[in-house]
Structure formats: C-alpha cells, structure tokens
Amino acid sequence: MILKNKIEPEVNWQDIDTVLLDMDGTLLDKHFDDYFWEEYVPEVYAKQNKISIFTAEEELLAKYKEVEGHLQWTDLDFWSEQLDLDIEELKEEIKHMINVHPYVPEFLDYCRSMDKKIMLVTNAHPKTLKIKMAKTKLTDYFDEIICADEIGLAKEQDGFWEKLSEKYSFDKNRTLLADDNDAVLESGAKYGIKCLIFISKSSSMQPVVHSPKFPSIIFFKELMDGCSA
C-alpha cells in the first residue's frame, strides 16, 4: 500500500550519539538487488537447468520465501550451493549497476561533522559487502561495519540488537537507526532504540512507499535540512 501521508521525522541531533545505517535500500539503490535476484539469477538458472524463465522464477521464488528474514537469505555461499551457481561471480558480473542513493555522502559528512559514531549494520553477506564497498568507496565513512553474519542473527530476529550492543557498545536512548525494512525497525523499537527512520524509496525504479508506523524520509537530505541542530 502506498501511503500519501507520511509520519514526519523529528530528530534533535543533540540527543543522538550513534547513527546505525542499513546498506541495501537505505544507503544503496536496491534496484541492483531486485534485478539480481528477480531477473539475472533466474535467467542464468533457467539456462543452466534448461527450463523456461517462468519455471525458473517460480522455483526460485519458492526457495527465497523459505529463508526470507533469516541469515540464509543473504548468504552467498548458501545460494551458490543451493542453486549450483557461483553467486559471488554473478554479482561481480553486474557490479556496474551498484549505485549510492542521492545525498548519502553528504549525510555521512554531516554526521561526521557533528562527531557522531556511524555504524553500517547490514544483513548482507561479507562477500556482498566487499563487492559493494569496493564499488561505492564508502568504507572510510564508518566507525564500524557489521554484517549480521557476525552476530549470528538477522536484524529482524529477536535478540539481534541486544547482541550487537554487547559487542559494539552504544546507548539505545541516544541512537538513530535508519532502514528500509519495517520489520527491522520494529525489532529495533522492541529493543528500545530511540530514533527510528524508515527509507521510503529503497529502489530508484520503485515508487515512494511511506511506513504506516515509523517516521519516513525519501532522501537523507530531509534529516539535514529539517532538523534541530
């Protein structure tokens, strides 16, 4: 459902010490991931197995749904084994499609200028992270870069944020979390993270969809212009 009315964010940066940022759909254009899993992999899978693209899409969708919301969903080694494809190599083949969302470097500079601790927290597999950081050159912006694989849980799962906080100390009452996944924000809310921001346009090829539950932004520019300094 596309919501025309959005919940406006109210961020007082004096109350924020730590900024937790998702990668795919939040900092990076999710069009790459959508195209990769929904079009490119089915095409290769269909050719390899000598089946129609329609059959390939049906088979893969069923496999995807079985592990959605769990670490296997983003595990390149898992999918390479399941599909008998070199998923890492396939990502390398189309890495030219990886793009940073508008205003992301400016926002990261903005947070850095206020001496905020910036942490990239992603469900992406370490091999995917390596490919995307090499392409986008964003690595140096972050104080910490954490893959959910390191924590042992996906961000949506109960216990993730507690384990993250134990390993990488941050005060949930002075933390901002931005993500394009409502389930992740709900998990963060359950843990008690104070400031939660939903990214309404995760893909450049998809319409804006605001969250019915959380403050929403289309671009990070909104948190630089319309906030309390």
Identify whether the C-beta of residue 182 lies closer than 8 Å to the C-beta of residue 174.
no
Which region, left, alpha or beta, applies to residue 160 given φ > 0 means left and ψ of -120 to 50 means alpha? alpha
Whether 17 is catalytic is no
Cα separation of 211 and 79, whole Å? 30
From the list 15, 143, 158, 171, the catalytic residue is: 15
E strands, 77-143, in order? 117-122
The candidate with the shortest Cα–Cα distance to 152, out of 139, 167, 138, is 167
> Considering Cα of 47, then 53, then 57, then 59, what sign does the dihedral take?
negative
β partners of residue 144: 119
Q: Which residues are catalytic?
A: 15
